[in-house]
Amino acid sequence: MDDNEGANYPKLMIAYLQLIRPLNCFMAAFAVYTATLVAGLPLLPPAAVLLGMLSVFLVCAGGMAVNDYFDIAIDRINRPKRPLAAGTIQPRHALIYASALFASGAALSYIISIVAFSLALFAALLLLAYAWRLKKLLLVGHLAVSLLVALTFVYGGALAGAYEATLYLALLAFLSSIGREIFKSIEDALGDTSIGVESLAIRYGAQRARAFASVPLMLAVVLSFIPFLNGMFGTTYLYFVSIADLMFLGAMAAPLRFSSKLCKAAMAVALLAFLAGAVTA
């Protein structure tokens, strides 16, 4: 460890925590738990689900760390206070940290089942590929991130041994995530341009990118009513998902600097809708 990095251990520990963006990782783990409830498992999760949630948290954390490793140049423009961009953590230490997180998450999933291990390994490799190369490719990066979001629900289905219901959740998560990622790329256009990232906002402009983002979001809003209409979930689900849908619609119309944040909040409410729907079904 470099002297300047180890000079203030409390500050350094906070920086390593900030590097993995724990709220995002918690949301991924919570999505797994929600998927197991939708698939029919009890409210009190069995040991395999707890291990699965922890493995997803760790793999997601590794993805956050490795993403910042490759994103130092962008973050110095867009998010200069992040630990690597600010110089609080050395890049090589962040890479070691990410590797340890990936390995720990994959090891836990191996204890559960070969299917869980395969999904965790695929997610880790996709996170690495995204951070290294895929994010620079037009639309490919957005699709990769959205697939990873959807995979948390598939992983929950794998833990429960019941995929059908969770695949529908995965589809809605995939669509809403694509919209959110496009809105996020509009905010990041300045930093992305500096390192050759090709996004919809850079190629076609912010307003056309907004139009592209609105298509999958609107589709997700329309499809979100099907679990209620086909009797899968009741009125509690309908109440919460309607709030989420209004937030998604607001993100499409809001000033662009707020759209990504509104989408993220709407996705959290939508997750709550599925949780409430599963518990009250």
Return the pLDDT at 1.
47
CA-CA-CA-CA torsion for 212, 215, 216, 219, nearest 10 degrees? 180
**Torsion over CA: 126, 69, 60, 102 (sign):** positive
Query: What would the two tokens of residue 90 be?
Result: 């050395």
* Rounded Cα gap, residues 99 and 211, in angstroms: 38
* DSSP-based helix, strand, coil % in the chain, nearest 5: 85, 0, 15
Report CA Rg, the chain: 19
**Torsion over CA: 174, 176, 182, 185 (sign):** negative
CATH class of domain segment(s) 3-280 = mainly alpha
Query: What would the two tokens of residue 52 be?
Result: 């699965």
CA-wise closest residue to 131 among 65, 73, 193: 65
* Rounded Cα gap, residues 86 and 62, in angstroms: 19
For 127-195, the DSSP string reads HHHHHHTGGGSTTHHHHHHHHHHHHHHHHHHHHHT--HHHHHHHHHHHHHHHHHHHHHHHHTHHHHHHT
Do residues 220 and 170 lie in contact, with contact meaning Cβ atoms separated by under 8 Å?
no
pLDDT in tens, the chain (281 residues): 454 555 577 888 999 999 999 999 999 999 999 999 999 999 999 999 999 999 999 999 999 999 999 989 888 887 888 999 988 999 999 999 999 999 999 999 999 999 999 999 999 999 999 999 898 888 898 999 999 999 999 999 999 988 888 998 999 999 999 999 999 888 877 555 656 667 787 788 888 989 999 999 999 999 999 999 999 999 999 999 999 999 999 999 998 889 999 999 999 999 999 999 999 97
* Rounded Cα gap, residues 136 and 203, in angstroms: 12
Q: Can you tell me which residue has the tokens 């979100």?
A: 224
